[in-house]
């Protein structure tokens, strides 16, 4: 099978400083993150419900993932997903996958946040422009290690029910932990892009399982994987750079960034994600 990035196109219309590693449990983002204000239970019930496109998923309740954004070219083509986070001072940044970034000028990209439908009106959405971007200095477009990039916004959006930051993972995942992946990617490998935001529940796999599924390719120092043994649920083309969320202590955390896989939702081929917790030292040096 062909190793894939989950980028896609849909019309709708570097330097990093090194620093001493902080305490990994130390807070590196703003208080009040990880909320879904339009849901009465903050979405907690979605972590126990059985979800039967992202592939094999369901349509998200409109506007209830306020941290997810469509990452686009400056001409309005959807390339990837992305996620809003805030630093300790309360300043928004945008996180996506490094492989989504082909141009080396931040001004060549836009993001639209607070949206649900790709081709419908989203009256509370905001369009973001960027003044700077940083790709992880050890990102490899051969192995897809450290597949993460951070964008600095030109102007800060208002925080409201439709635009909110996700929390940044402050503890490691564990095998079997539930997660939700969301995006506007294709509904099947090589299929049509989703017209509205989709989400899918996926269990996170232990590193040992990921290494067995991808021998010589999975790097536990900066990757994680998630999926069902029989396949059927996954991110796909156009979902790259988007969030893998975990729900911890009443908050939604950005725990993974959609990176790569073999096909979409194939049996015994879980999706692979950049591991936000293991990359948080670098994230901290950029946003703080």
- Give Cα separations from 110 to 16, 102, 284 (angstroms): 22, 13, 23
Provide the pLDDT for residue 205: 96
- Can 136 be counted among the known catalytic residues? no
* Among 70, 179, 240, 259, the one annotated catalytic: 240
* Among 78, 99, 116, 136, the one annotated catalytic: 99
Question: Which residue(s) pair with 84 in the sheet?
Answer: 94
Provide the pLDDT for residue 120: 87
* Among 29, 147, 234, 239, the one annotated catalytic: 147
0.95 exceeded by the pTM?
Answer: no
List all residues 6 or more positions away from 271 whose beta carbon is below 8 Å from its beta carbon: 6, 181, 202, 225, 226, 227, 234, 235, 258, 259, 260, 261
Provide the pLDDT for residue 234: 46
d(CA 117, CA 84): 18
- Can 147 be counted among the known catalytic residues? yes
d(CA 46, CA 65): 12
Question: Mean pLDDT in runs of 10 for the chain (288 residues)?
Answer: 51 34 72 97 84 63 97 95 98 98 96 94 96 98 97 98 98 96 74 81 95 96 87 62 97 97 71 97 98
Provide the pLDDT for residue 186: 62
d(CA 73, CA 101): 10
DSSP, collapsed to helix, strand or coil, labels residue 213 as helix
d(CA 93, CA 233): 29
The size of the chain, in residues, is 288
So where are the chain's domains? Answer: 68-164
Please state the φ and ψ torsions of residue 86, each to the nearest 5 degrees.
-125, 145
- Can 78 be counted among the known catalytic residues? no
CATH 2.40.10.10 fits 68-164, yes or no: yes
């Amino acid at each position: 099978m062909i190793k894939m990035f989950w980028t896609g196109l849909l019309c709708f219309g570097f330097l990093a400083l090194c620093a001493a590693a902080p305490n990994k449990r130390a807070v590196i983002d703003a208080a009040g993150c990880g909320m879904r204000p339009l849901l009465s239970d903050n979405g907690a019930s979605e972590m126990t419900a059985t979800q039967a496109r992202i592939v094999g998923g369901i349509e998200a309740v409109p506007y209830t993932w306020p941290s997810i954004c469509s990452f686009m070219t400056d001409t309005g083509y959807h390339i990837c997903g992305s996620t809003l986070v805030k630093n300790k001072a309360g300043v928004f940044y945008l996180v996506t996958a490094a492989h989504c970034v082909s141009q080396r000028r931040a001004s060549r990209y836009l993001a639209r946040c607070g949206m649900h439908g790709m081709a419908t009106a989203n009256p509370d959405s905001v369009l973001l422009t960027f003044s700077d971007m940083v790709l992880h200095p050890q990102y490899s477009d051969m192995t897809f290690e450290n597949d993460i990039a951070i964008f600095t916004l030109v102007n800060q959006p208002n925080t409201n029910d439709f635009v909110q930051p996700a929390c940044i993972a402050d503890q490691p995942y564990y095998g079997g932990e539930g997660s939700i992946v969301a995006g506007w990617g294709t509904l099947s490998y090589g299929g049509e892009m989703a017209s509205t935001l989709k989400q899918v529940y996926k269990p996170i796999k232990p590193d040992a399982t990921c290494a067995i599924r991808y021998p010589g390719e999975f790097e536990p120092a900066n990757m994680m994987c998630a999926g069902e043994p029989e396949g059927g649920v996954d991110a796909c083309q156009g979902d790259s750079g988007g969030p893998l969320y975990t729900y911890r202590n009443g908050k939604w955390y950005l725990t993974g960034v959609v990176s790569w896989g073999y096909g979409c939702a194939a049996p015994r081929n879980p999706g692979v994600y950049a591991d936000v917790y293991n990359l948080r030292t670098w994230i901290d040096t950029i946003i703080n």
